[in-house]
Structure 1
Amino acid sequence: MTLSELPSPVWPILVLLAIQAGDALMTTRPPKFIVDCLEGVRFPRDWWWVLTTVKAASVAGLAVGLWVPGVAMTTTAAIVVYFLAATAAHLRAKALNSTFWINCLGMLLLSLAVLVVSFVRW
């Protein structure tokens, strides 16, 4: 097993990029389900801006990584770590509603799948 420095296929990166871009936009003025999620894990409202910044940075990293070796792989790995941390926050807060199962775990699995499909060579 080896790792590829540029994504191949590229389409999973583009899907993840689109989702992250939409998520970054939504966190600028969070809809109720995001507010409920953040309050459910007791994430301080004063720090919500950090999420928008992190998600926007992930969009930039995925886009740049289409041409610069290693950047998309590192960014995708960072997104996996982000959702691992979100999973831990949900478990710690016992906030195990549908937002956790669909959004948090769904994005963890999706980003992990993108990492494997686009960068792992057997």
Structure 2
Amino acid sequence: MVNALYIRLQATAQRLITKYGQAGKIRRVTPPDPVTGGDGTPTDYPCRLFPATYDRRYVDGTNILASDKQLYIGSIGIGVSPKVGDIAIGANGTEYHIVHDDPNNYDGQVNVVFICQGRTAT
């Protein structure tokens, strides 16, 4: 049974991301056919996201770089759960490669918000 608290938290997170975030998309590249080869097929999924800078105390230069962003991605209306290997694209066209993902799924049923570590390709 779905817990009503998590539904309210999901709605609150979505409202804040919609208010302060930006339109973006998650790009997932499906691997090519192993027999015929070729290139992977990219598929874009629209989303709302909020890129935030990591606090200095968490930046260690190995796991979290100074240029990394913490991406808060709304879970309502998104077609996929962002995962490592996907690319999050912000409103200004900045591409963040997702190097760590956390679905914030406390009861196993409701994804409250996706918090991902995004790394720019510099």
**Is the pair's TM-score, using the shorter chain for normalization, greater than 0.5?**
no
* Larger proportion of strand: 2
What TM-score results when the alignment is normalised by the length of structure 1?
Answer: 0.31
Q: Report the structure number with the largest CA radius of gyration.
A: 2
What TM-score results when the alignment is normalised by the length of structure 2?
Answer: 0.31
